[in-house]
């Protein structure tokens, strides 16, 4: 895609950081407020879409986004495997008192970030994976078929 006018580029630059921050907020607070890895990742990937529309797709390369996606997926599966002492995807950090392991009182409470065991970590992993996957898909589709690739 070709880059758009200076006005669009300036507005995209203004909006880009706030979209990224809102996506990161949705991912990190996934165990307390509505949202989570998938939703926050989709929001953050929309910032990449905005930049592709404004500046064209030449500036993005696939390597970094691909690495982000693979990192998220490997982190997610290894977090599932770490709980294998009891069961696959066992929440081995919850209610232990350590990292992400503080107790929660039943009912309405003010939300504590340091709770919920592996759920926040898995949210972050899935968020990275979704940002990488959706961003990569948009970059590839915007660039079109590539010359010199292997089949």
Per-residue mark of binding to other proteins, 62-101 (x: CB under 8 A): -------x--xx--xx--x-------xx-x--xx----xx
Q: How far apart are CA 25 and CA 13, in angstroms?
A: 19
How many residues lie near other proteins (CB under 8 A)? 54
Spatial contact of 123 and 28, defined as CB atoms under 8 Å apart: yes
Task: Tell me the C-alpha to C-alpha distance, in Å, between residue 63 and each of 114, 135, 136.
Answer: 33, 11, 9
Q: 94, 101 in Cβ contact below 8 A?
A: yes
For residue 130, what are its two tokens? 């979704």
Phi-psi region of 28 (alpha: psi -120 to 50; beta: other; left: phi over 0): alpha
**Does 149 participate in binding other proteins (rule CB under 8 A)?**
yes
Q: Which of 19, 23, 36, 55 binds other proteins (CB under 8 A)?
A: 36
Residue 61: both structure tokens together? 């390369």
Which CB, 12 or 30, lies closer to other proteins? 30
Nearer to other proteins, 10 or 64 (CB): 64
Two tokens, residue 145? 């078929």
Question: Does 49 engage in binding with other proteins (CB under 8 A)?
Answer: no
List the one residue from 13, 21, 33, 61 that touches other proteins (CB under 8 A): 33
Nearer to other proteins, 12 or 48 (CB): 48
**15 or 29: CB nearest other proteins:** 29
Tally of CA atoms within 13 A in the half-sphere of 92 that contains its CB: 12
Alpha carbons 143 and 59: distance in angstroms, whole number: 10
> Which residues contact other proteins (rule: CB under 8 A)?
30-38, 69, 72-73, 76-77, 80, 88-89, 91, 94-95, 100-107, 109, 111, 115-119, 122-123, 126, 129-130, 133-134, 136-137, 140-141, 144-151
């Amino acid at each position: 895609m070709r880059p758009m006018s200076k006005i669009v580029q300036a507005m995209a630059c203004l909006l880009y950081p706030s979209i990224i921050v809102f996506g990161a907020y949705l991912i990190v607070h996934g165990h307390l407020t509505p949202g989570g890895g998938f939703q926050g990742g989709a929001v953050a990937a929309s910032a990449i879409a905005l930049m592709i529309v404004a500046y064209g797709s030449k500036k993005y390369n696939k390597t970094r986004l691909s690495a982000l996606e693979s990192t998220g997926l490997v982190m997610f599966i290894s977090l599932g495997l770490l709980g294998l002492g009891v069961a696959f995807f066992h929440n081995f950090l919850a209610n232990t008192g350590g990292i992400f392991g503080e107790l929660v009182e039943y009912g309405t409470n003010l939300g504590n970030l340091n709770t919920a065991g592996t759920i926040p970590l898995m949210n972050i992993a899935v968020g990275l994976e979704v940002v990488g996957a959706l961003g990569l898909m948009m970059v590839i589709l915007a660039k079109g078929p590539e010359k010199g690739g292997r089949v």
